[in-house]
Amino acid sequence: MVKVISILSFCYLFFVPICLFSKGISRNVIRSHDRVTINTDASEGIKSFSSWAVFPNRDTDVRNITMFLTLGHPDTMDIAHWDYLDFIYLRRVGGKNADSLNVEIGRMITPYGSSFKNDWSFTWEVDVTDFAMFLRDSVEIDYLHSGYEPEELGWSLTIEFDILFGPPVALPISISEVYLGKYPYGRSGDPIENHLKPYSFAFNDKAAFGRLRIQHTGHGADRPSYCSEFCSRWREVWINNDVIDRRDLWKECGANPLYPQGGTWVYDRGYWCPGELQDPDIIDIPYYQGEQVIRFKMEPYEAEENIQAEEVIGAYLIQYASPTHKHDVTIEKILVPSDNQLYSRLNPASFTPQIQFKNNGSEALRRLRISYGVAGFKKRTYTWQGLLNHGESIVISLPGEVDFKKGLNVFEVFLDAPNGKKDEWVLDNSMKSEFTSPKELPLNFLIRYKTNNHPEENLLYILDSKKDTVYHRKPESVSPNSIYSDTLSLKPGKYEFYLTDSAGDGLEFWAKPQSGYGYLRFLDFSRNILHNFISDCGSGQFLAFHATANAMLDLSDTQNAFFLYPRRTKRNIELDAWLVNESILEVRFIADGELMARHIFNQFKEGVVNFDLGMLNPGRYIVEIYVDGVLMHRNRINRDA
């Protein structure tokens, strides 16, 4: 169904904390899937969840379309566990009797969900404006979910399309499929180019440029390089005899905003990470006369054993007319400050707002005036200078502190005077984001830091508003598996704390029990936890805070701490627990939804408890920890044979 709603209603209804706020702006929000429970069909390995939605008619000008995809804990079953490759397809336009189009408009890799609690959900977003000419009238949207999990496990799925009305940046003329499928990689005597056939086309007479939109992920684990899920390899895109793009198909996963997850989420992968709606590669091609030939070439490689690598590619060529305007910029994102889940590793922040904008004008953008600030505080102005061609985006940092009052705040930004000229469509030049103020901490507190077996990978430091380092704990100052307590005395003001991990596997990671475990906590002098950092943190942790003499312990933010180690074990496991008050501590071991063991500890405050898992069969277990009957922590462990 189509919903025409005000911008304030849109923010409230879908909890998307970044919203355009230009006066007079018009948009629709269309929901094709509304908390649909999805699960696998283990007999087939693939299952379709198709739904129809009504989009604007073909006579309506569409400026931008953003697809939001939300996964959550399902209402009627336990949450799924595995990272499976899923697709979002546009199947038919105009009704059930229409021809099949089968256009891939998005690609999702599900997260490792076993440790997520019942109220968990996460929302991703991707720009799908390139498919605007198909997203018209009645459209069949199909979510294709792969995998072989038990049918009793699943996800709650919601898909929404936020449509901004206005003059198109450039009028789309045609969409053509270049590649769509799974292409074998690493076969001896059968290179992938045998399957990635050259694609020939001619530009439409009305076209000014073409755009290649590519979804590409690697899968399988052969020998010796574990391609294509766990190997880096390059890909080249050729037009005729020229290489127009070359990149390594590899992605570091330790900075994933969805963390921690239940499985091997920190392992870098073949151009994707668990828990990700993949951003496509966008490559613009200038207009040429005559026949044009597109070729994809991959790094030469031959596997030796377990031959199974596949490159899963969906590539489309969209031809566009000339850009509608000469001077036209768009604010795309506010990364900092923001409560958006996608930018949680950057927020809340004390300094240096970050925004992303795009040049939609035909003239290269070299200069832009930016006004920004928090509602209720003085606005600032910054002049950006650089080079941004048509269709290119850039993320920049803005100078200054982030102003805030305690609680919820609104950050606003406005783009003006591209190249000193009047912007020809200003309704997407402004944006606002809601954000929560940083935590308040006392001027004096303790940093309690336990190292793991590889402290050389970790660095701790605090910056003040001048970006001066007021505290650091360097790797060379610590020993493995040791506890350190540092007393801090700070001046009133804003600060940012950083924990970095050069290996990308945090202070603890279940699949590397040989690395030991570490933890990091801020304590007051009464040994209350002011902030408990996540040890399974991948590339690190970040905390902005406001140091003040009037800071009070936030009793609404319960700061218990729980740590299970090792989470991969043959028999013994220990729980390191720290509670706010003496309470009843209950620990449950669950396999496939069935309670296998339960342990209760009365009047527990803090300490280490050991468990012998010898009575449990080898396999994966979910450990649930309750405090006075309330579920406080859930994690996955492996009991090896």
**What is the structure's pLDDT at 13?**
31
Read off the pLDDT of residues 488-532 as tens digits, 9 standing for 90 and up.
999 999 999 999 999 999 999 999 999 999 999 999 998 889 999
Does pLDDT of 1 surpass 60? no
Read off the pLDDT of residues 126-152 as tens digits, 9 standing for 90 and up.
999 999 999 999 999 999 999 999 999
Give which of 579, 552, 570 is closest to 613, Cα–Cα.
570
Residues forming a β-bridge with 450: 483, 519
**What is the structure's pLDDT at 4?**
25
Query: What is the average pLDDT across 294-306?
Result: 97
Cis peptide before 260 (omega within 30 of 0): yes
Read off the pLDDT of residues 455-500 as tens digits, 9 standing for 90 and up.
999 999 999 999 999 999 999 999 999 999 999 999 999 999 999 9
Domain 438-559: give its CATH architecture. Answer: Sandwich (2.60)
Same fold, 329-435 and 561-641: yes
CATH topology classification for 2-165:
Jelly Rolls (2.60.120)
pLDDT confidence tier of residue 48, bands split at 50, 70 and 90 = very high
Read off the pLDDT of residues 537-568 as tens digits, 9 standing for 90 and up.
999 999 999 999 998 877 656 678 898 889 88
Query: CATH code for 175-307?
Result: 2.60.120.230
**What is the structure's pLDDT at 641?**
83
Read off the pLDDT of residues 94-121 as tens digits, 9 standing for 90 and up.
999 999 999 999 999 999 999 999 999 9
Answer yes or no: are the C-beta atoms of 423 and 390 closer than 8 Å. Answer: no
Q: Tokens 């968990």 identify what position? A: 120
Does pLDDT of 28 surpass 50? yes
Q: Which residues contact 203 (CB under 8 A, 6 or more apart)?
A: 210, 287, 288, 289, 292, 319
CATH class of 561-641: mainly beta
Diameter of the chain by CA atoms? Answer: 81
**What is the structure's pLDDT at 552?**
82
d(CA 401, CA 50): 47
Does pLDDT of 16 surpass 70? no
Domain map of the chain by residue range? Answer: 2-165, 175-307, 329-435, 438-559, 561-641
Share of the chain above pLDDT 90, in %: 88
Give the distance, in angstroms, between the CA of residue 136 and the centroid of all CA atoms in the same chain.
28
Does pLDDT of 19 surpass 50? no
**What is the structure's pLDDT at 454?**
97
**What is the structure's pLDDT at 592?**
85
**What is the structure's pLDDT at 556?**
58
Q: Which residues contact 404 (CB under 8 A, 6 or more apart)?
A: 337, 374, 435, 437, 438
For the chain, the average pLDDT equals 93
Read off the pLDDT of residues 219-275 as tens digits, 9 standing for 90 and up.
999 999 999 999 999 999 999 999 999 999 999 999 999 999 999 999 999 999 999
Does pLDDT of 438 surpass 90? yes
Answer yes or no: are the C-beta atoms of 291 and 276 closer than 8 Å. Answer: no
Share of the chain above pLDDT 70, in %: 96
Half-sphere exposure of 341 (CA within 13 A, CB side): 18
Pair type for strands 234-239 and 291-298: antiparallel
**What is the structure's pLDDT at 527?**
86
**What is the structure's pLDDT at 24?**
58
Does pLDDT of 10 surpass 50? no
Query: What is the average pLDDT across 144-166?
Result: 96
**What is the structure's pLDDT at 158?**
98
**What is the structure's pLDDT at 558?**
61
**What is the structure's pLDDT at 3?**
24
Domain 329-435: give its CATH architecture. Answer: Sandwich (2.60)
Full-model pTM: 0.92
